[in-house]
Chain A
Amino acid sequence: MKKATWIRTVVLVGAVGALEIACRTGAIPATMIIAPSAMVVAVVKLLQSDDIGAHIEQTLSAVAIAMSLAIVFGFVIGFILNWVPFLRRAFSPFLAAYYAIPHFAFYPLLIVIFGLGSTPLIVLATVFAMVAMILATMAGLDRVPRVLLKTARIHRLSLLDEIWRVRLPAAAPHLLSGLKLAVAYSFIGVIAGEFILSTSGIGHEIAYSYDNFDNPRMYALILFVLTIVTTFNMAVYAYERRLMRRRGA
């Protein structure tokens, strides 16, 4: 195991162990945080209960749709802005200021426009996540070495072939970074939206458990979300590592 992995493992195990001891000895009251082992037990119980399936399904499907839309539209818009300089010049200031906007303040407006249900959540999460993908796509395409584009011309590639076989592979590391951010922002958008106003979904269940002092269920849901997001990101990260190792990074 590498030194960095050792350090990471020791820090993680140490923090979880310290929390476990603090909770078990009563240094931290159960009304504040429950012990990590109790969280794991609560997750198992949660997943065995009948009522949680629909909430998980709703949240994950909303995240999946928002994520897909953010990645596809983010890539397409990023590509167009990279390709058409005057559009880029026109929109760059908006993109630069985008994450300074409190997106969640618009959630009530989205409910007025789209009604109750998943749609406003999906729209909120999509617009929240999409710009990360737009910026990553533009950064990736900006950094395609000119010599590779000349090489494409020497090989007389069609425009589509040039994009598919040269520009996109060359930009892939940036695109993957954008994808990772889009995944994270989609989860944040959907769950935070559910937390504020929704009547169902994991975010709503966390808020509901919090309001009812049901700490085991609340922490079980938090741990569940963390596990899903981390697993997804780790999978993308592993693929990215493999890709970058080939490229000598």
Chain B
Amino acid sequence: MIAEARLAAVDAPGSVGASHKIHARLDGVTRVYPPRAGHGEVHALGPISFELRAGEFFSVVGPSGCGKSTLLDVLAGLAVPSAGTVEFEGKRVLGEVPDGVGVVFQEDASFPWLTVEDNVAFGLRRSGVDPAEIKRRVDFAIGFMALGDFRRAYPSQLSGGMRQRVCIARTLVLQPRLILLDEPFGALDQQTRLLMGDELLRLWRETSATVLLITHALDEANLLSDRIGVMSARPGRFIDIVETGWPRERDSRLAEGPDFGAVTARLWSFLRAESLRAMGQGSKQGSAPR
């Protein structure tokens, strides 16, 4: 019953309650890749319109190749939309990463030639922040990510999960107001994913940042998010936005509750058909270029 009540509160795609402050907005955004050798034009994304509420944890799920990462790139300013507009904190995003946006990728993006400490301080040292402040923020981020015993280690001496924590810490020290996560736990085992999810929730609660997470894992999206956008097969559009209604104070034990399965089932009911469509597309055309 509770689950039903929550699911009934789902917004129509793109709609946002009047009481929510808008942090970022996509309006009619499409992304079309030009023809390349052997491939015609690829319409990867959109048109897509949605609003990211300030301080929310929003996840995006969708079939492979549906344009999830393209959506993140466009929102981060790493890619320019073919049509439509992107705004962050009321300002247009025009092919440049706006101040206040941090991104963590699925691939290991730690710099192998730098120690953990130098990796974490990398962005701060380029931004003219006072050395004492750099040390304070780096110490905090390293402690927060439980990397204290490894601050002088190189990434090659760390596990995949720890390297990903280094990347999160490197983003954290910049105190971003919007954190974009592109399948950051995709390469990790299930147990590590769950624990990293808890750490991510802790980070989200303590920083009050807005988080957008791209993930393949429905359980992960369900556990972590306030809202989950379900994308269609390419060209990716939101076919549903599910509001979970979970309390802000939550962790991986939420998965033990009876409501959890209902939300995951709802996500899967939308995603199954889209995944089958995407598989059909994939066998005919291959995936969108990255």
CB closest chain-A residue, reference B174: A155
A145-B107, A247-B156 in contact; A154/B76 too (CB < 8 A)?
yes
Q: Is A234 an interface residue (CB 8 A)?
A: no
Q: How large is the interface on B (under 10, 10 to 19, 20 to 34, 35 or more residues)?
A: 20 to 34
Q: Which residue of A151, A161, A165, A172 contacts B109 across the interface (Cβ within 8 Å)? A: A151
- Residues B102-118 near A (CB distance < 8 A): 102-103, 105, 107-109, 111-113
Q: Which residue of A150, A153, A154, A169 contacts B111 across the interface (Cβ within 8 Å)? A: A169
Q: Is A3 an interface residue (CB 8 A)?
A: no
Please name 19 further chain A to chain B contacts, defined as beta carbons within 8 Å, in addition to the given A154-B76, A248-B157, sorted by A numbering.
A145-B107, A147-B108, A148-B109, A151-B109, A151-B111, A153-B78, A153-B97, A154-B103, A155-B122, A155-B174, A156-B126, A169-B111, A172-B113, A243-B113, A246-B112, A247-B112, A248-B112, A248-B156, A249-B156
Which residues on B sit within 8 Å (CB–CB) of A44?
A: none
Which residues on B sit within 8 Å (CB–CB) of A155?
A: 122-123, 126, 174
Question: A34 CB to closest chain B CB, in angstroms?
Answer: 47
Binary interface profile of A, 151-177, with partner B (CB < 8 Å = 1, else 0)? 101111100010001100110100000
In the docked arrangement, what's the CA distance between A247 and B78, Å? Answer: 28
Which residues on B sit within 8 Å (CB–CB) of A161?
A: 126
28 contacts between A and B (CB under 8 A): A145-B109, A147-B108, A147-B109, A148-B109, A150-B103, A150-B109, A151-B105, A153-B78, A153-B97, A154-B78, A154-B101, A154-B103, A155-B122, A155-B123, A155-B174, A156-B97, A156-B126, A157-B126, A165-B122, A169-B111, A169-B113, A172-B113, A243-B113, A246-B112, A247-B112, A247-B154, A247-B156, A249-B156
CB closest chain-B residue, reference A247: B112
A150-B103, A157-B126 in contact; A246/B109 too (CB < 8 A)?
no
Q: Which residue of B96, B113, B174 contacts A247 across the interface (Cβ within 8 Å)? A: B113
Which residues on B sit within 8 Å (CB–CB) of A148?
A: 109, 111
The A contact surface, by secondary structure, is helix
A-B Cβ contacts below 8 A, count:
58
Residues of A within 8 A of B (CB): 145, 147-148, 150-151, 153-157, 161, 165-166, 169-170, 172, 243, 246-249
In the docked arrangement, what's the CA distance between A155 and B97, Å? Answer: 8
Q: Which residue of B78, B102, B156 contacts A150 across the interface (Cβ within 8 Å)? A: B78
In the docked arrangement, what's the CA distance between A170 and B155, Å? Answer: 13
In the docked arrangement, what's the CA distance between A153 and B78, Å? Answer: 8
Which residues on B sit within 8 Å (CB–CB) of A165?
A: 122, 126
Asked if A166 and B109 sit within 8 Å, CB to CB, the answer is no
**Nearest 7 Cβ contacts at the A-B interface:** A248-B156, A147-B107, A155-B123, A247-B112, A147-B109, A151-B109, A169-B113
Asked if B96 and A156 sit within 8 Å, CB to CB, the answer is yes
Asked if A154 and B112 sit within 8 Å, CB to CB, the answer is no
Asked if A166 and B111 sit within 8 Å, CB to CB, the answer is yes
Q: Which residue of B97, B154, B155 contacts A154 across the interface (Cβ within 8 Å)? A: B97
Question: A151 CB to closest chain B CB, in angstroms?
Answer: 5
Which residues on A sit within 8 Å (CB–CB) of B154?
A: 246-248
A248-B154, A248-B157 in contact; A147/B113 too (CB < 8 A)?
no
